[in-house]
Amino acid sequence: MKDTEAVFLPSRREHSKEISEKIMELVKKYGERMEYASVDEAYLEISKKTKGDYNKAKEIAEKIKKEILKKFKLTCSVGIGPNKLIAKIASDFQKPNGLTIVKSREVKKFLDPLKVDKIPGIGKKKKEKLIEINIMTIKELKKLTKKLLKEQFGEKIGAFMYNAARGIDEKELVEEKEQKQISRISTLKENTLNLTEIVKEIEKHIIELENEINERKIEFKTIGVIGIDSKIKTHTKSKTLDQYTDNIELLKKTSEELFKGLTSELDIKLRRVGIKIEKLREKQQQKSLFEF
């Protein structure tokens, strides 16, 4: 049984990605601009079309939901709001198959009673830290000063939390996001620190990366390896090359060296190992002799 599942998983993922792309295409026609947030999430800008009329926005949302249901037999959840943050929280509000509208003047009323972790970016850790100081809801979160939030959570995250609690989000839609890294990670059959075993596992990932690198004609400048030990602690090592490359042998060699360094510093066995390339760019035009 397990084997069967394993065989079907990759193809199913491919398939769902295809469907996702078709749905995204469909959605995009309803707005002015769209941001692909993930395989099953997108932001659609309709402010010009609706000119702030939420009734119009609602009609659009209903049409989208209907068309997706008809063409793909799938339901989806939609959130409508004055900015991406509110739209996102609204879309999470009723799931599945929801449609939540939050007008500008309703933002405060909508956010106040929600638990802090409804804000995207506030997960388990920040939630716990806030609970420590008796902050559970967004209304309570607003009692904290920007200064305190920055001290406790850092400059950027603190400012973000301060604004998010007030429904403030000025971020524009990003239509074309460029991917910044490609990684693969997997769980070992048995935990180990043995370099040969690890390299064997990483070999598989490198083959996958090689395909992607070739298909997309990209180059990378940084190579990183990651190990997660039996206590679920993360260990990483990375190396930035002095030039961009698409050399797979170099990727192999470098990752092995990085793992050599990584494992030598550890006395706890690794459970999962992975590899990543970052600082990506389109492969440059072949240099002409002249340029060379």
Catalytic residues: 41
Residue 263, C-beta contacts closer than 8 angstroms, at least 6 positions apart: 193, 195, 198, 227, 270
Specify the long-range contacts of residues 52-57, CB closer than 8 Å, at least 24 apart.
54/80, 54/101, 54/103, 57/101
Residue 129 beta carbon to DNA: minimum distance, rounded to whole angstroms: 8
Residue 235 beta carbon to DNA: minimum distance, rounded to whole angstroms: 4
> Of 38 and 285, which has the nearer Cβ to DNA?
38
Residue 119 beta carbon to DNA: minimum distance, rounded to whole angstroms: 7
> What is the chain's alpha carbon radius of gyration, rounded to the nearest angstrom?
23
> Of 103 and 136, which has the nearer Cβ to DNA?
136
Cα 135 from Cα 97, distance rounded (Å): 30
DSSP string, 175-229: SSPPP-EEEEEEEEEEEE--HHHHHHHHHHHHHHHHHHHHHHTEEEEEEEEEEEE
Residue 51 beta carbon to DNA: minimum distance, rounded to whole angstroms: 29
Cα 242 from Cα 239, distance rounded (Å): 10
> Of 232 and 289, which has the nearer Cβ to DNA?
232
> Of 47 and 236, which has the nearer Cβ to DNA?
236
Query: Dihedrals φ, ψ of 120, to 5°?
Result: -65, 130
Closest Cα partner for 166 from 52, 102, 91, 85? 85
> Of 69 and 174, which has the nearer Cβ to DNA?
174
Residue 28 beta carbon to DNA: minimum distance, rounded to whole angstroms: 18
Binding site for DNA (CB under 7 A): 38-41, 117, 120-127, 153-158, 177, 179-187, 222, 224, 233-240, 261, 272, 274, 276
